[in-house]
Amino acid sequence: MLEPKQDRSAEELGESLVNEATMKEIGQTEPDGGEASLLLPVPDLIDSVRRHLNAQKPILDDDQFRKTELLSHFFKYGIGKDLHEELGTLDELHQDTSYISAMWIEAFLALRDSIAFHSNAAPAFQANPKPEQNDQLTRVTNLTISSIQLLKTFRAGSLEPEVMHLYPEKTDNEQFKKLIQFISPDLVCMAASVVSTYPLDMSQFYRLFNTTHIPLNKDDLVTDESRCTFWCYEMEMFMSLMSWMIMVIS
């Protein structure tokens, strides 16, 4: 999450909320640049069965492997063929994201376990190196303003792409960013991987805000960008920042 440009006390932050609305938005690159090349193709059925058998062979005896091979044959030319055709149709209907996205999200939404790091992603923040910035009110105010800055930048289409650099000292620089802009969006991910740099899929970034999980028979995520409330949770209590204050900041 972005940090405010200046460290200020809670009182100073409270007095300057209106001024925060005029802060210059950061980022230069469109967030969807090159994401077409991030879409996963539907894997070939015959190749998938072959790879499955290759993975099973070292751990099965001859009799077990023959049975697995026979079942794989029936699957490949039976229900597997039908399922593969349905998967291809589903992929054609959702060209904006990978075929696996909905299934992947639903798998997490269907979890009913307690929230834990082993099954749910969660941000963790280090303490500010300046002790005076670590009191609760200042910390929450900083994070609130930073969150709104991130939201504004994303909706303006100016958020810099998320990229994983295996060797940041070589590729995380302005020279690489300028060079990669001249590569076709369909090839940019392949080209970046040559130098061990991997753009990340940002198609779900819009769910970072204004989104809630509704646990019904079929779980769903609902996004409503018209809402304007900031919720805080502490000691089993929910608190909301008033809508008019959010509007002033944003």
The pLDDT tens digits of the residues spanning 116-131 come to 556 666 667 788 889 8
Lowest model confidence (mean pLDDT) among 15-19, 48-52, 223-227: 15-19
- Confidence at 32, pLDDT banded by 50, 70, 90: very low
Which tokens belong to 188?
Answer: 């940019």
Residue 48 has pLDDT above 60, yes or no: yes
Could you state, in order of their start, the residue ranges of all structural domains in the chain?
10-30+131-249, 45-98
Residue 18 has pLDDT above 50, yes or no: no
CA-based nearest residue to 105, from 221, 20, 9, 14? 221
3-state secondary structure of 91: helix
Contact between 142 and 133 under an 8 Å Cβ cutoff? The reply is yes
Answer whether 0.85 is exceeded by the pTM.
no
